Amino acid sequence: MKLDINEILKSTLILFSVIDILGSIPIIIDLRLRAGKIESGKATIVALVILILFLFVGEGILKLFGLDLSSFAIAGSFVMFLIALEMILGIQII
């Protein structure tokens, strides 16, 4: 596996746009009201471990299910498109 700085930057930008940090703020506030204190340090470490785990074994998991990376990307784009349609039109599709 060859790690290239361009690939890392592309992945980072894609994750940043998909995760929608600003859009998650209301969810985090609601979680804080319900659960009390959120340990952000532990959550960050767990997220980092999961991210690194999928960096190294993610493609193997896709091959286990008989998928390649391109097929997974296309399926993900369809799901994101349907979610966007739900948000824009205000209807339940999925």
Record the tokens describing residue 84, joined without a space.
């966007």
Classify 70 as helix, strand or coil: helix
Indicate the pTM of the whole model: 0.54
Q: How far is CA 42 from CA 46, 49, 58, in A?
A: 6, 11, 23
pLDDT at 53: 92
Residues in the chain where the model's pLDDT stays below 50? none
Cα dihedral across residues 84, 25, 72, 6: positive or negative:
positive
d(CA 3, CA 68): 19
CA–CA separation, 80 and 74 (whole Å): 10
Query: What is the per-residue pLDDT for 1?
Result: 59
